[in-house]
Amino acid sequence: MTDGNGARPGALMAIGGAEDKFEEKFILKNFFDLCGGKDARIAIIPTASKLEGTGTAYQAIFNSFGVQSVEVLPLFRRADANDPAAARVFEQATGIFMTGGDQNKILAVLGGTESLHAIQAANDRGAVIGGTSAGASALSDPMISLGKPGSMARSGMVKLTAGLGLTKTFIVDQHFHQRERLGRLMYSIMLYPGMIGVGVDEDTAAILNPGGGCIDVVGRGTVTIVDGSELKMYNPASVPHLAPMVFSNMVLHTLTHGCRYSLIDRELEMDRRSAGPDDYC
């Protein structure tokens, strides 16, 4: 799907957190390539993080790849996010990267600001938007704000709030198997069965291409797809708090590096041609 000027929206890269930053840096190198490689102009948003230097650490990595330009935008207050100078950086970016931390902080700072409008416009014209950990969760609308761990879907185990709105097709969760988050993603899809749940493991990325009709996977772990399009269940509002949900026809898919999921056919495509670190296919 293209906009009125014929541009195709850029991909969204949801990284499950704890991506390799010290050795092969495979996930981050993949983001760099998607953004245009050595012609890329990358903007880094460290808003979610409480740690000083998070943004500059990613800046050093992208510089080591030979990026044309990379800038850290310290957007920690709403006034920062409404600064026209920040919006101008996003207007020129071919890639925008959000660090991990707290996704609620991202929304508190960016929601409804000039920077968010500029980020959305950049993605509409083809810029790639990436986020790791909290930055991945914030991509969608609604987004998972907080929740309880567990492999079983239980009533009320997750809180969903407004996200950045870069996609209304997917609900993204991260640190997925490492923090046992299957239950809360399934429950999220019970509340929004028209959306697709995407659970991303650490050091793994789901490349979301809604315009191209697919999800591609790179990295060492798995991506879990939760499809509720044929879901049958009782009304969630009638189930006591944290009681197990009764449902059927929830479809799950497990993808590893090189796999592709078709959004059109709702089917897994086994594509193993893409080489990865340590030959982990």
Residues assigned a catalytic role: 133, 175, 202
Cα–Cα distance between 257 and 254 in angstroms, integer? 11
Cα–Cα distance between 110 and 127 in angstroms, integer? 18
- Asked if residues 21 and 61 have their Cβ atoms less than 8 Å apart, the reply is yes
Taking CA atoms, 164 is separated from 15, 74, 116, 143, 178, in Å, by: 16, 18, 7, 8, 25
Which tokens belong to 190? 């019970």
Residue 21 class from Cβ within 10 Å (0-12 exposed, 13-18 middle, 19+ buried)?
Answer: middle
- Asked if residues 166 and 139 have their Cβ atoms less than 8 Å apart, the reply is yes
How far, in whole angstroms, is CA 36 from its chain's centroid? 19
Q: Which residues contact 254 (CB under 8 A, 6 or more apart)?
A: 222, 223, 224, 225
Cα–Cα distance between 57 and 54 in angstroms, integer? 5
For residue 167, what is the DSSP state?
B
Query: What phi and psi values does residue 227 have, to the nearest 5 degrees?
Result: -115, 115
- Measuring CA to CA, which residue among 125, 119, 132, 136 is closest to residue 81? 119
Q: To which residue do tokens 């935008």 refer?
A: 73
- Asked if residues 169 and 139 have their Cβ atoms less than 8 Å apart, the reply is no
